[in-house]
Structure 1
């Protein structure tokens, strides 16, 4: 149940006499208002204004004197920060944070243009790292999800430039994003910030794998370390949001392995040394299990099914069957957890995963001899049976949770049963 549902249905319950207005207010008090979603208007406004200013200045940049160039850079930068601080003091956080974000964008543009102006060394990334440091600092100072998003994007852009243009990995950038924003996430585990941070960390991890020329399956060791951090987060929504991108990446890999994977063909890409890889993955698994046990979340342990190293199996039928078993088991675990927690969103996700697994099973195993109409018939029967079973279980749970109603006794019998019979003073007591 959510506050939005109570706000929508509560007045009707009061009108029908199911609950009183006082009870409705108590229910609303149990579900405080959720944090507002990230405002896209300040973000888009900051980006568009920044791009507009950059395009105008860039078109005439070479014709401007050096002093005027510096004045434009410093004036736009200080003006954005000053205007943002002004609107924050006036109680307009969306516009204020948007202008602060614009100032952050202009700060990075100033670093790049100043480097070009004075012909600084092109392979020195210290200025770009300073851009990331400024983003992390502003995120702490203002506590804005917009600034967190911009900093993650800036970190990804700086790292991409280092890898693509310089052929190196900026560990300072990765440490600032993972450490600086990671601690920010631990203290303020908002859903949007958690998801954005996890996606940014996965991008950094992917670039590191590219630079190191490692097997791509090494990607999942640090990726699942991000997942394990979500297990230790006391705030459950924030922890789940951080775990979403790593789980999506693991599922897409397993899905692709089931659909296209012939590991005999791609063994040079997928298979790292067995013992070091399994040892590193087992260490992350132990950390995740400890977090789940500490926070009471062992029901999500089956998420690790997606990390079973099936790519060590030979290609063909053994690989297809193994990956399909994993996909079905994972979909079943999601459905079971959704039913147990009465979570409709997880139930929808589990149903989609189940259908996707069934489609892969058909195309990989039965395409050659099972007619399409029969496949769709079997799939429909399976889904209808699953729906009937879940509805039946839900009805049983509701029936068990509802106390049985008994007819109210009449007043005479109630009085008789309520008060014990007193002895008649005129009647002598019986001998024992």
Structure 2
């Protein structure tokens, strides 16, 4: 919630009797203005600029500096960043303190790389960079900071990229540290942004593994849906949705690609792993996901798995495209139905967008070859505008009914508690 929203909406809350003026002032005090927040950022931005200035000077003269001075600069910068972070934390300035600790973590990784270059160490293994990930995970446990929790996830993705692209190996230790370290930390201290970044970082590492091992592309979805299943087991609904977001986006884009290009059948060699092995692994992950949904009372989200139906085993050409379009329509329809039941405005909007996308794909795929181009665009435009109007009207009607149902008991209670309004 932002202060601007409070300043705009809270006077109406006071006039409706939902809160008092004193409570309104207390709420405003909890959310400082943007100007105050910007002033609080000035010390951090200033320290970053000073650090960048010093870094540019050192970088320009790095090769000409004596070896002892180089090591002293690296060690001094590292100690100064950590000491400065602790100093500001003890003074209650968490923003600057955590920023300096994050700067110290980045400096630690840079020191590993520069020291390796200084002594011309051959980087045939990733042990030095792995220590960087370990320190990042430890810092995320020591300090309650969102930024320090995000850093080891991003560092792990960067280290894994270096391993696969430069060394030609996949570091299972790096992925294990992110899963067991950052994942464990997030599980016990859930955060929606960390959940989304964690899921995206893990999917990036999985994609690197698929590319390095030259496996079928569809093997990507076994670990990806394991991340999704982990979200099913988490007790916090918001954190659960955030963790499941990136795997669902990947699955939807894959299904959309099948609908658009599935009839060409030229990608069959890239998409079809051994049937029994793949379906067995997918069924095991599905069972784990269903168990989590049942325990947490989220079986209504089971239609998400429609996107993982292995339609790529069907013959290519038009039948595969049509079958995938049916899946996209079923998924969008299930999301709309679920959103209408829960009166979730965001899900209603998302479901509407997905339904329109499926309609656009179906229209382009099925009618492009049969209509004159001008008539094709005219009919398509009218169809989409009509569909958008209809869905918006339904969403507005549904939300209006929900608001009326919620406000009616409040209004009745206000009338009953006011003797002057009673006959």
TM-score, normalized by length of structure 1? 0.84
SS in 2 for 1:124: coil
1:373 is aligned to 2:378: yes
Matches within 5 A, 1:26-105: 53-105=54-106
Q: Do the aligned partners of 1:271 and 1:311 also contact (CA within 8 Å) in 2?
A: yes
Q: Deviations over 1:207-258 (max 9, x none)?
A: 1112221101000000000001011111111111111111111111111111
Gaps in structure 1 of 5+ consecutive residues: 409-413, 416-432
1:187 is aligned to 2:205: no
For the aligned residue pairs, the C-alpha RMSD in angstroms reads: 3.2
| Counterpart in the other structure of 1:9 | 9
After superposition, the Cα gap between the structure-2 partners of 1:284 and 1:372, relative to the gap in structure 1 and judged at 3 Å, is: same
Q: Post-superposition shift, 1:8?
A: 4.7
Q: Do the aligned partners of 1:140 and 1:184 also contact (CA within 8 Å) in 2?
A: yes
After superposition, the Cα gap between the structure-2 partners of 1:117 and 1:397, relative to the gap in structure 1 and judged at 3 Å, is: closer
Q: Which moved more, 1:261-270 or 1:175-184?
A: 261-270
SS in 2 for 1:214: coil
Whole-angstrom CA distance in 1 between matches of 2:43 and 2:350 = 31
Q: Which has the larger radius of gyration?
A: 1
After superposition, the Cα gap between the structure-2 partners of 1:20 and 1:270, relative to the gap in structure 1 and judged at 3 Å, is: closer
Whole-angstrom CA distance in 2 between matches of 1:356 and 1:64 = 59
| Counterpart in the other structure of 2:419 | none
Matches within 5 A, 1:401-420: 402=408
| Counterpart in the other structure of 1:386 | 391
SS in 2 for 1:261: helix
After superposition, the Cα gap between the structure-2 partners of 1:99 and 1:376, relative to the gap in structure 1 and judged at 3 Å, is: same
After superposition, the Cα gap between the structure-2 partners of 1:72 and 1:22, relative to the gap in structure 1 and judged at 3 Å, is: closer
Matches within 5 A, 1:100-111: 100-111=101-112
Whole-angstrom CA distance in 2 between matches of 1:398 and 1:155 = 45
Q: Post-superposition shift, 1:6?
A: 7.2
SS in 2 for 1:265: coil
Matches within 5 A, 1:212-291: 212-262=213-263, 264-291=265-292
SS in 1 for 2:266: helix
Q: Deviations over 1:346-396 (max 9, x none)?
A: 111111111111111121111123421112212222222223334444455
Q: Post-superposition shift, 1:264?
A: 2.6
Q: Post-superposition shift, 1:58?
A: 3.0
Matches within 5 A, 1:88-167: 88-167=89-168
Whole-angstrom CA distance in 2 between matches of 1:211 and 1:324 = 31
| Counterpart in the other structure of 1:429 | none
TM-score, normalized by length of structure 2? 0.86
Whole-angstrom CA distance in 2 between matches of 1:192 and 1:366 = 41
Q: Do the aligned partners of 1:50 and 1:102 also contact (CA within 8 Å) in 2?
A: no
Aligned residues, how many? 402
Q: Post-superposition shift, 1:48?
A: 6.6
SS in 1 for 2:173: helix
Q: Post-superposition shift, 1:13?
A: 3.4
Gaps in structure 2 of 5+ consecutive residues: 417-421
SS in 2 for 1:161: helix
Q: Do the aligned partners of 1:149 and 1:196 also contact (CA within 8 Å) in 2?
A: yes
Q: Do the aligned partners of 1:251 and 1:306 also contact (CA within 8 Å) in 2?
A: yes
Whole-angstrom CA distance in 2 between matches of 1:146 and 1:381 = 45
